Structure 1
Amino acid sequence: MKHADLIKEYEKDLPLAVLDEISALIPTSATKPQVKKIVEETILLYKQARVHAGECVGLVSAESIGEPGTQMTLNTFHFAGVAEMNVTTGLPRIIEIFDARKTIKTPMMEVFLKAPNNKDIEKVRQFALQIKATILDELVAEYAINIFDQTLILRLHKELMADYGLTEKDLLKSLKTRTKGYNVSSGDGEISFTHKGKAEEIKELYILKEKIRAVKMKGIKKITQVLPVKRGDEYIVLTSGTNLSDVLELPEVDPTRTFSNDLYEVRAVLGIEAARQAVMNEVFKVIESQGLNIDVRHIMLVADIMCVSGEVKGITRYGIVSEKASVLARASFETPIKHLVNASLEGEVDKLTSVVENVMMNQAVPLGTGLPGLVTKMK
């Protein structure tokens, strides 16, 4: 880049990420004095934006997030036209994120497609049907049991099978591998099961009927509902249920924009940096949907604390609170007797280096003016 050498002179004053961004944004037609002026103004703004030593950032962030949190709704948003496809929003979703719950109420994905597939609604619908986990029960119009022949008969939805691109042969192949001990045959829109060898009790056929209902015929595991929607000038697919690793392997999918709202899955597939960004994105999505406004730095601080260990940890007694070095700080959060008794048995020493324990001991806290030690000049 034309101005790269000039910008490099300021490496001691600004983070590399900021310098790279400036370098990318400055037009090549800019003169040397103009570039210097831009960088120097950026340095000034950067210094003004920095937090002062001793600032209680945790308390400010807690206040910033907690106060708007009282105005959040407690509802679950429902997608019109799709059975059982809901999205947890408002306070329940914020609690899910900050607690880093492994099982969330409404796991979902936003699947972005590569051009030109993302412009054609029919192609998007076909793709959505391809990834939806289709079970046998959805394709069967009627179950019938012939008591005299001891046969279980499945009458199929031919139109629905055509929509999913499935044939009787596909179903037969899948069912044969899962129903050993039975002769499976098909014809004229029906699939029949008869027991090999000696006749079984009729209840065996009823057990078989219940067993094969949930057999997956097509699609990606865990994706139970799909909904193509228009987003700007393209179509995307919203899914109920999430399976990021399998979806990203599909050639039609744009892996740079597709995401899941399951923090642990994002951590497992894309790494801890992606999980940190997912925490921020999910919180902002809730905040914006509620018409609230919170400073980005407060959300970033919480996301950093949750992900600093390399794993996603919730703000709970089992998450980041359990890792606090101070016994009194751990005791102040939850289950105080347990923490104090265990610390006594192990002979733990609390060095009173943080805020909570100093408040409990009625001492000056290491914040603001309490942070520096004062040295008096003796005459």
Structure 2
Amino acid sequence: MATLQLDETLMATGLAARIAERIRLTGGDWLDIGVGSGRLLEAGLASHGIDRYVGVELGSKLASAGLPSAAVAGELHIADVLQSDAMHSALGQRRFRVAVGNPPSGLGVVSPAAQARLRALYPEVVPIRSRTRLDLYVLLEALARLERPAEMAFVVAAPLVQDPTVAAFRKMLVESASEIECYELPDAFSQKGKVRAFLLVARFGQTQGARVTLGRLEGDDLALSAWRSLGASNAIRRMDLAYYEFQDMTQALTRRPGFATLADLGAHVAPGSRTKNQFVAMGVSHFHTSDFPVADGAVVFDEQWLRGVEMAQEGHTLVPCVGARCIERVVHVARGCCPITDAVCCVNVQARWRNDVFDWMYGEEGKAWRRTAAEVLGAGRLTAATLMTMPIPT
């Protein structure tokens, strides 16, 4: 059973200041879900007049240090936000003007009472093997306790702004808020270095049907380096700036004279059908991401044909599907054949297009496209379907 260890995601001072900066309301009661080291409170006090601060923290050691004495009228509750009865006992039916927090991401198995609470707050919830998105649950709990005019600012993981299964949540937010801002955070703020983090801000004023702005914060000072406005339908689809930048990149390439996608060229693109460990257990030689030469070029295989698995053959182009350190590599099969693992994609086109495909994938623009596609569309993984949309000069 999951408990929300909010103290696992201590907040950097600069991020706390940036969150507090995005809150425009002054006065009112603040709800801080996950007090942590108290940096959000400190940042809020430095820039806002807070009438009353109410913090919820599971870690008792952090909670004891999280509330500065005499700084503001405040309360600190030791409670697990995933336990609906504990939250009700701590907060009752109180409403707040501002809600902030930095919950952990990921999926957790929660109690039947928490599942019922989630369904009540979000009837469109999509079950994920009986588990719940922790940051989604926290946001819904916070939203249920806001009273207009109100604002919220939370650090969330990429699925909340990207995943199709959470589109109903984004729709609810877009339709109920007056303004939404969603900022991509630097890699340093990604939890466990894997799932990209975003700062999601929503303001609830007199109007509904939010104006949506996407942006990117970079550097130690989290400076705004890029931004754009977005229509409601697109915001419901996705709220990450990089996705729309990637669309711009792809459209710009396809508009160039002589460009066509791999699908247009009739390509066959497929990953291997076995894992590396499966091939090892079978005692079968194979080609894996670790076998890509550092200097891209040609590879030569023995004649090793194996029925029932995806084979790389003479004339094929091979690219890694995964691996941040090797995703840009590419090789051409000069001779022979060999089974490939599921971490490698094989690209096969008509003989007249083979040099064009390899040369483009080998070039800097082709590498940049694959790297961005993996980051934006596949959480670090290139799929065959994505590669089929890759523009190629012919």
Task: Name the TM-score, length of structure 1 as normaliser.
Answer: 0.26
User: Greater Rg, structure 1 or structure 2?
Assistant: 1
Indicate the structure with greater helix content: 1
- Tell me: higher relative CO, structure 1 or 2? Use CA pairs within 8 A at least 6 residues apart: 1
Indicate the structure with greater strand content: 2
